[in-house]
Structure 1
Amino acid sequence: MKMLAGWKRHVLMVALCAASACAYAEDQLAKVKKAGELVVGTEMQFAPFDFLENGQQSGFNKDLFAEIGKELGVKVRFIDLPWPSVLPGLEAGKFDMVGGPITVTKARMERYTYTLPVADATDAFLKRANDSSIKQSADVSGKIVGGGKGSAQLDQMKAYIATLPKPPEVREYIDNNQAYADLAAGRIVAVANSMTNIAYVAKQRPETFAVVQPPFGAKVYFAYCLRKDADSKPLADAFNAALLKVNKDGRLATLQKKWFGVAMDVPSTLPTPNY
């Protein structure tokens, strides 16, 4: 009887250990591999990264994630949300990672796990092409400017305009298209966004918009992000390994040229942001 009881305890311990090992193996990367799908939250109002063209997703993110998906051996599915809902959606576990992309900042590094950078995110102003009153960034002083609600670009603009003699009034927009529409209509004089984004907008509509040079923002980068927990780390590591490969073999530069008009040097390690 004692031998039988001992054998049962042994079997129970083996079963518990196996269950524990299985639970440990089910990190976010394991779940993605098991599902055969990487689910990415994004906002499809941020050309040239993510936008809708004839009702279909287009942009840099779609192409780059397709390459990452090939390296990971999974399909990629995007969920389109208003930007203020994207990061809360990540925290609530509604998707595996954010493909906004988002600016790398000190505050966000404390809260999220960033991937390696994919593009330059330095901030600048977009103005109307025929507005001769704004020749440099400081010329927005005392006027009305716009920015994306909940964005790092808005935060950086607010920090910059606070240094001006007469800080302008700020209007916050749920998506960038609304801001650009108000700019075109003359309801605001400039929109703050990443140089990558506004250069694309100005290129698409040169008769309407122009970029104010030089940029007002500090040197920062765009990256993607995941939840900051042990379960997400294996997925972040696998994503970064794939991204380094895509960068090294030239695929990243090819996509940058396609969507930004120029290839951008991005660091192979995550730099410490200035703000």
Structure 2
Amino acid sequence: MTHSNPLPKITRQLLGILVAAAAASGLAHAQQAAYRIATEGTYPPWSFKSPDGKLQGWDVDIANALCEKMKARCEIVAQDWDGIIPGLVAKKFDIVVASMAITEQRRQRVDFSDKYKDTISRFVAEKGTPADISPAALKGKLIGVQRGSIQASYLTENYKSSSLKFYDTPQAAELDLVAGRVDYILGNVVTYFVGFLKGADAANFDFVGPDLKGGLLGDGNGIAVRKGDTAMVENVNAALAAIRADGTYDRITAKYFPFKLM
């Protein structure tokens, strides 16, 4: 005997449509891009950890905004600066959003997105320090700088007659400046402006000398991906263009800075 289907034909059709839609949705979710993104985590206001250990900062917000535009599931992790490019090359993560300066030396190891902010470096020293920060003027002086940074490369190349002291974080260099263990520190203008120079410990310190940029100090900052990953560069660039066009980039910037970064 043949049993008839108890469901009306139109109900069976609707059920079929719903099942197909659910299957398509599940497939789309399974195929959704998933990226692991590295940032530094010790570099406020760009990236740092809250008291409960959660990553936050301008770069973290930018990374999340880019993931939203790319419709990707992302995990953002902290990585010590001197291991950030080796980690990318070793496929520990897929993208680096860490205010990384675009330099020719780094281009040999990674590919970069379009520039997503400008970079200016300056020396900081005790107020009243002479404005001449030429290599000749700083001969014999102790200069603190973060290890692996563009400023470290710049000093190593140009200030051979100075004594350079390298630190794992910018904050460690700042502490030694306040304690008198170094005469100058060199780093990112914006970082110093909104961080160190706003603190009570920096009351007797200020910028000295002119803005420094270009050459070893880079051509702005970019988002790094593995060498040869053209598709990833294109995806990141499209997402960057989208967050700039719809105002997301400016809203994130205004959350941290009273001025534009580009």
TM over 0.5: yes
Match 2:235 to one of 234, 238, 253: 238
Structure 2 portions without partners, runs of 5+: 1-28
2:41 alignment partner, one of 26, 41, 44: 44
Partner of 2:10: none
Q: TM-score, normalised by structure 1?
A: 0.74
Conservation of the 8 A alpha-carbon contact between 2:60 and 2:97:
no
TM-score by length of 2: 0.78
Q: Does 1:137 align with 2:133?
A: yes
* 1:60 paired to 2:54: no
Deviation at 1:36, TM superposition (A): 4.5
Report the secondary structure of 1:48's partner residue. coil
TM-superposed deviation, 1:40: 0.9
Q: CA deviation at 1:44?
A: 0.9
The 4+ residue runs of structure 1 with deviation greater than 6 A are none
Q: Secondary structure at the match of 1:79?
A: strand
Q: Do the aligned residues in 2 keep the contact of 1:156 with 1:217 (CA within 8 Å)?
A: no
Q: Which residue of 1 aligns with 2:14?
A: none
Matched, 1:76 2:74: yes
Q: Which residue type is aligned with residue 186 of structure 2?
A: A
Judging changes above 3 Å, is the alpha-carbon distance between structure 1 residues 200 and 33 closer, same or farther for their aligned structure 2 residues? Answer: farther
Correspondence for 1:178: 172
The 8 Å contact of residues 137 and 215 in structure 1, kept in 2 or not, is answered as no
Larger mean Cα displacement after TM superposition, 135-144 or 182-191: 135-144
Query: C-alpha separation between the residues in 2 aligned to 1:215 and 1:110?
Result: 26
CA distance in 1: counterparts of 2:64 and 2:179, whole angstroms: 37
Where structure 1 has 5 or more consecutive residues not aligned to the other structure, the ranges are: 1-31, 266-275
Is 1:225 the counterpart of 2:221? The answer is: no
Aligned with residue 91 of structure 1, among 89, 97, 101:
89
* Partners of 2:122 and 2:186 within 8 A in 1: yes
User: Which of the pair has more CA radius of gyration?
Assistant: 2
Q: Deviations over 1:195-240 (max 9, x none)?
A: 22222224531651422242233373011101112xx221211111
Distance apart, 1:53 and its partner CA? 2.6
Give 1:214's aligned residue: 210
TM-aligned CA distance change 1:214 to 1:260, over 3 Å: farther
- Comparing 189-198 with 132-141, greater Cα deviation is found at 132-141
Q: CA RMSD in A?
A: 2.2
Q: Output the amino acid matched with 2:243.
A: V
CA contact (8 A) 1:202 1:210 kept: no
